[in-house]
Chains A and B, each alone.
Chain A
């Protein structure tokens, strides 16, 4: 594959060289268009907001250690629950998984020098910090208190200034998400090294294709709903005011049309991370490449038609409750395919017990539980009992914390050497894993029982009969709070002083490992040529020197 071809095909490729040899520390605080800088900006920002959201969770769990509302004022409690959810979704998991790993890895994985639209990319990132500032600033006005769902009429009569800031923040991160999605799609579509066929793309990129499509379809609908809400609050319209002819249920449809797919936005990139981490550390080809790739697209498609399962107890006619019961249950099939494929990938492997692998397998264990409880929630007759209870809280934390957060951790332990050029400390990583694993089970398992017994969610005060289990949950939450200490310490210390990683510390086969760690500014001196598939482990004893010994797949 001649390099000349590549340069002709892509005018923005190495032509310019209008950049220094290496970025300085302050370049990371500027409108930098390098996808790696942007990826790191996303990751660092999101890990900061993770602490903020986690701090709110700890305060809420402290409040819930006793049945009475005696630690926080109820208004403040509601502000914390609203902003905990909002921050964890929009400023932690989405920017870390999609913005962070997506931007950092996609060009490196497909052999591109940058994203298709670098300036758009920088713009997408820089929408995030002001959005975060708006959310934090809204606490000056009491903080939005209507839950991350912000159902009217409550959201229209509570803390109007803060609610308006909340809406603006979400619209900004939504815009960021749309810009990012366009960028990912065009990049993966157009900027692969010419030798890379569609069935040789790393599965993380497939997952990002599905994620981006989903974000493009659904995010505008949320933006529309929120703008209408903004008008209702500030400009006297009455889209959602029942006493002036509005309809409160319409908002719920607009909201959930985005916000259920948002669940897949938060897990599909993580599925992609799983498909990268597991083969490397199990030393096995991924089992069922095509099944995993297509099941991402299936989840994307079916995931667009399940939103009413959040509204089974709302103003929904019977046919809707039934239709969405069936469609929701169907999502279990493509998700199951992925779980089984990763499990089968472990079979016959030479599994290395690295921290990345521990988190990946931990995710598998958590996700099986969260997936099964998700199926029960899909069945309308049972959902009607447990809707808006702690059962739901337990379920979605199992898939979002046990799933997405475990996945982000796995990704960090896996790609940290690539991103920083230094290894993380493995023993400290294992301490982090054990604490996180125990804390997760302790925090989120009793919630299922609480919900079924009769404890609603989003309450600052509860029936004293639930105190025992709630205290157990609070202990679990404290363990989770402690668990991040070894992690943050590990990351900061290793970034400064960790042992040098070298280009390919895990002997992995995807393209990002063919360049230096950290990669040079335009990723490669000479663009790589694909000599084997992304997961061709075990096919060739000399596979550890991948560049020369070409294996022509298929």
Chain B
């Protein structure tokens, strides 16, 4: 075993690899801006994995390339290599190290998952309870005849489980500051604010406040994703999902559909606008003022096409088309 480098060399390589990995783990700049309370949690987990991954990458790839060059066949040498068939301590070592790493990563992942609120969707139980049964249709916003019908049907599903991310179990559990009902349909997102009756094709939320999205799909499966929030939840027809977050940074971020939903899946994009608390109040006021009475009953009299017009401005479909598209899904 004389090929094994001297302890000093090993030490130097070890220190260099560690330093490089630690540096790259923190400075990889691979993830976008952080704009929610969950984002730094996810990024810290990623950076830890990146640090370990970089170290393993350098060591294993370096070893493979070094062996491949160092042990090449000398010209004219047709003999065989050393008849080494195994080495139990070495094999135990490289079984144990990855095992320890993945167990550590597993525990860390669970802890991050809990801090993100992963254990409490659909309920306000908090404290890491794993029971997540809740009636999710406490507020029914009637924004359109089409959607109203779908909600009436959906109310058949009482006591179904709600999936996603709820209130972070590490914080004091309380009701959300803002609730938004999110509906995905080919190829738009509809955001409805049951407290104020506002309906919009873009998501407006106040910074620093606890926002709860109740996500559903109208036709096929969509997936609500805001990369800057590091949060994603499939919008499922017939099942409600929750995403709860606190936006931490004012700005405009993309809302992306991440689940293949048809030909124009790639165009199913909109925006989330994180306002300051005052701007948000102004926005709410202006939208409520726009509607003649801010009353849901008025909204009901609109046709589907009118209702969907705002949502389809940036879409490759017109609202009438969209309303028709949604129709056949209902029996």
Tally B residues with Cβ within 8 Å of A: 95
Query: Does A11 touch B at the CB level, under 8 Å?
Result: no
Query: Does B200 touch A at the CB level, under 8 Å?
Result: no
Q: Of B82, B91, B269, which one neighbours A337 at CB under 8 angstroms?
A: B91
Query: Does A325 touch B at the CB level, under 8 Å?
Result: yes
State A447–B267 Cα separation when bound (angstroms): 19
- Residues of B67-93 at the interface with A, using a CB-CB cut-off of 8 Å, are 67-68, 71-74, 77, 79-87, 90-91
A–B pairs, 22, beta carbons within 8 Å? A243-B237, A249-B239, A284-B80, A287-B85, A290-B86, A314-B234, A315-B241, A329-B102, A346-B67, A351-B68, A351-B72, A351-B73, A368-B56, A375-B105, A380-B113, A385-B227, A388-B259, A452-B30, A454-B225, A535-B85, A538-B80, A543-B80
Contacts of A318 in B (CB 8 A): 113, 118-121, 130, 132
A316 nearest CB across to chain B (Å): 6
- Residues of B214-239 at the interface with A, using a CB-CB cut-off of 8 Å, are 219-221, 223, 225, 227-228, 230-234, 236-239
Residues of A at under 8 Å CB distance from B? 69, 73-75, 77-78, 145-147, 149, 151, 153-154, 157-158, 242-244, 246-249, 282-291, 313-319, 321-322, 325-326, 329-330, 332-333, 336-337, 339-341, 343-344, 346-353, 361, 364-365, 368-369, 372-373, 375-376, 379-382, 384-385, 387-389, 448-449, 452-454, 456-463, 535-539, 541, 543
Query: Does B256 touch A at the CB level, under 8 Å?
Result: yes
State A237–B118 Cα separation when bound (angstroms): 34
Contact indicator A381/B113 (Cβ below 8 Å): yes
A457 nearest CB across to chain B (Å): 8
A77 nearest CB across to chain B (Å): 8
Q: Who on chain B is nearest to A537 by CB? A: B80
Q: Who on chain B is nearest to A318 by CB? A: B119
Contact indicator B260/A458 (Cβ below 8 Å): yes
Q: A243-B330, A284-B82 are in contact. Are A449 and B237 (CB under 8 A)?
A: no
State A344–B71 Cα separation when bound (angstroms): 11
Q: Of A248, A282, A313, A333, which one neighbours B238 at CB under 8 angstroms?
A: A248
Contact indicator A536/B83 (Cβ below 8 Å): yes
B320 nearest CB across to chain A (Å): 19
Binds A, one of B11-19, B42-50, B298-306: B42-50
Q: Of B67, B82, B83, B86, which one neighbours A289 at CB under 8 angstroms?
A: B86
Query: Does B31 touch A at the CB level, under 8 Å?
Result: yes
Contact indicator B258/A325 (Cβ below 8 Å): no
Query: Which 7 A-B pairs give the minimum distances between C-beta atoms?
Result: A242-B238, A459-B266, A454-B227, A538-B80, A538-B83, A74-B263, A348-B82
State A318–B165 Cα separation when bound (angstroms): 9
Contacts of A322 in B (CB 8 A): 109-110, 113, 118
Contact indicator A387/B232 (Cβ below 8 Å): yes
Query: Does B161 touch A at the CB level, under 8 Å?
Result: yes
Q: Of A146, A242, A285, A336, which one neighbours B84 at CB under 8 angstroms?
A: A285
Q: Of B223, B236, B263, which one neighbours A248 at CB under 8 angstroms?
A: B236
Q: Who on chain A is nearest to B46 by CB? A: A382
Contact indicator A385/B83 (Cβ below 8 Å): no
Contacts of A339 in B (CB 8 A): 60
Contacts of A349 in B (CB 8 A): 67, 71, 81-82
Contact indicator A319/B130 (Cβ below 8 Å): yes
Query: Does B10 touch A at the CB level, under 8 Å?
Result: no
Contact indicator B49/A376 (Cβ below 8 Å): yes
A233 nearest CB across to chain B (Å): 14
State A452–B264 Cα separation when bound (angstroms): 22
Contacts of A287 in B (CB 8 A): 84-87
Contacts of B109 in A (CB 8 A): 322, 325, 329, 379-382
Which residue of B79, B153, B234, B262 has the most chain A CB atoms within 10 A of its CB atom? B234
Contact indicator B266/A462 (Cβ below 8 Å): yes
Contacts of A285 in B (CB 8 A): 83-85
